Structures are given as C-alpha cells and as structure tokens.
Amino acid sequence: MADNIVIDIEKIMDEIRADIAAKGFNEDLPDFADISVKYEPPPKFDIAKLESVIARLGVSWNIQPYHEIRSRPGVLGGIIIFIRRIIRRCITFHTTPIVSEQDEVNLLILEALVQLRDFVKDQSKAED
C-alpha cells in the first residue's frame, strides 16, 4: 500500500516558492562574510589559576548549615532573633539533607578538579 504513494517534488517546490514570495522574502540576503561577529578567543589556560580555585574550594566545599543569627540590639532585635530561631528549627529537617547533598557535589567537583590538575601536570611533563 505504501508503494503506491507518488510524491510530486516539483509541486511541493512550487508551493514553497509561492509561500516565500507571499511572505515577501527576497534573494538579497547578506553573505555570511558580511556579518560581523565579535569573536573573543577563550582565555589561555593558567595552571596557577586552577591551583588557586582548587585551594579555595578545598577550604570552602563544606557548607555550614548554621550561622549566627543576628539582629539589631534592643527588645525588637531579641524578638526577631527568637522568631528566626523558631523558623530555623522548623525547617531544619528540610534544609539539612539539601546541605548534605550540596556538600557531596562540592566534594566531587573538588576531586574532579584535582584529577584535572594532575592530568594537566602529567601532560605538560610528558611534552617537556
């Protein structure tokens, strides 16, 4: 049954051409060479910068879920601190697993960056 289907390519092309003419498109499109594109080459790899990022991440990969709750001094500040502590206790069951998962992701990223650094160092030694 599928063998009896006849496709008239010229008819389809005529319909496409008529569609293009109806929409007002013309052949005066700019050449790709005429289009200016601001190209910025990627920054050159800097092993010192990678080392710096790894050092910073090595110190800060573990997120501390509890921070000191502060407010302005006075009675109103004491009330605000009290309310914030209540809110913290109410949402701790929800935030603690999220913080733990983020810590795990951060540690995996740190390990991947260390592996990348070691690979780059090995490759640069092999080239020398």
Q: What is the pLDDT of residues 5-63, one digit of tens each?
A: 888 889 999 998 888 888 877 666 667 676 777 778 878 888 899 999 999 999 988 88
Given a contact cutoff of 8 angstroms between Cβ atoms, the answer to whether 84 and 69 are in contact is yes
Residue 3 has pLDDT above 70, yes or no: no
Q: 2 falls in which pLDDT band (50, 70, 90)?
A: low
d(CA 71, CA 11): 76
The structural domains of the chain, with segments of one domain joined by +, span 2-127
Q: What is the pLDDT of residues 87-96, one digit of tens each?
A: 999 999 999 9
pTM above 0.75? no
